[in-house]
Amino acid sequence: MAAPAPRTWLRQLAKAVVHTLRSTDDPGSITLRPLSRLATTESNADGWFVDIGRIRGVRSGMLQIWFDRWAGTRRRVLSFCYRGSHAEAVRRIATAGSSTFGRSILKSGKVLPVESDVVEMPRILKRHEFSRPVFEAYSNHDCYYGVYLPPRAPRLTKRQKSAVARRIADFMRDLASSVTATSSGRGAGTAYPAVENRSLVVRHLRRERSARLARLAKLRDGFTCRTCGLNFEHRFGQRWRGIAEAHHKEPLRVHARAIKVTLDDLVTVCPSCHTMLHQMSGGRGDVARLRTIIDGVRRAR
């Protein structure tokens, strides 16, 4: 069976990514384009790109999939990225070294003098730079942040296409949440509050918590404990990346009804500090008090 034309294949993959994002309970901070409006646009590097959607509350923050020779390879390369003008916010995410995005490659490009909206990559990608996040900043204040996959022909099995779509969707969801949390517009602590503390019956009565807000808090803090400073990936290696917990500065148990919780109400801690915090008074000052205790113990050694 013949492979579909590259342009058709790219649009099919874009639809799969949108379906994947819509099928999750928590699509993140993304406004997706309708399937009928997913169109391929020619790039200036012998290929095409598709706009998947826009980051909510972030002006000119597009999420895109590309299939072209922008990376300087002989064959077209599939890539997916954020494209927009929030360079400083995205640079902070790219350089944070978080377990979500890992160590990013930083590049600075220039705008071609003939056409003010055409940019040029400073150099082609090296083999070890594929499959890693790449941050590209250009002199017109635009930036790109995404991943270039190794060159291959557009012939994916149904299972392979589903896996690639999930990888793209996960990257876009996490990046959109991170940009929303760190951008200077609708920043962390004010964007998209979630209702928590509703009573649910799941074998026993428990408190409902927002998984999205917890993920945003950990992304904001780089998965580093804000009391003892422990980052599992930095201390023990990549195998332990992402081990961190989101702690409510004020316990939900003190509220009798559902409440709105924002990022300002959450702090990232390691499991040990989380256990200690829950054995304290339950006030907003517990995090600072525990940090003081830990600092005192360290100085006494």
Query: Which string of DSSP letters, residue by residue, matches 130-193?
Result: TTSEEEEEETTS-EEEEEEPPP--S---HHHHHHHHHHHHHHHHHHHHHHHHHSSSS-TTTSS-
For residue 221, what pLDDT is reported?
86
Give the tens place of pLDDT for each residue, 196-225: 443 433 333 333 345 677 888 888 888 899
The DSSP secondary structure of 150-168, one letter per residue, reads PP--S---HHHHHHHHHHH
Phi, psi of 41 (to 5 degrees): -120, 140
Tell me which of 284 and 172 has the higher pLDDT: 172
Q: Look at residues 98, 100, 144, 138 and name the one whose alpha carbon lies nearest to residue 118.
A: 138
Structure confidence at residue 189 (pLDDT): 35
Per-domain residue ranges of the chain: 6-182, 194-300
- Mean pLDDT of all residues in the chain? 77
Q: Where are the beta strands (DSSP E) in 20-140?
A: 30-32, 40-43, 47-55, 62-68, 77-84, 105-111, 119-120, 133-138
Q: Is the pTM of this model over 0.75?
A: no
Query: pLDDT, tens digit, for every residue of 275-289?
Result: 899 888 777 789 999
Pick from 46-60, 92-106, 177-191: least confident: 177-191
pLDDT of residue 30: 86
Contacts of 232 (CB under 8 A, 6+ apart): 223, 240, 241, 242, 243, 244, 270
Rounded Cα distance between 40 and 234, Å, is 41
d(CA 185, CA 180): 8
CA distance 235 to 99: 12
- pLDDT tens readout for residues 118-148: 556 656 788 888 988 998 887 666 788 999 9
Give one word for 197, left, alpha or beta, with left for phi > 0 and alpha for psi -120 to 50.
left
- Distance of alpha carbon 246 from alpha carbon 155, whole angstroms: 41
Identify which of 208, 221, 223, 218 has the alpha carbon closest to the alpha carbon of residue 260.
Answer: 208
Q: What pLDDT score was predicted for residue 64?
A: 95
Residue 52 in this model has a pLDDT that exceeds 90: yes
Report yes or no: 156 and 168 within 8 Å, Cβ to Cβ.
no
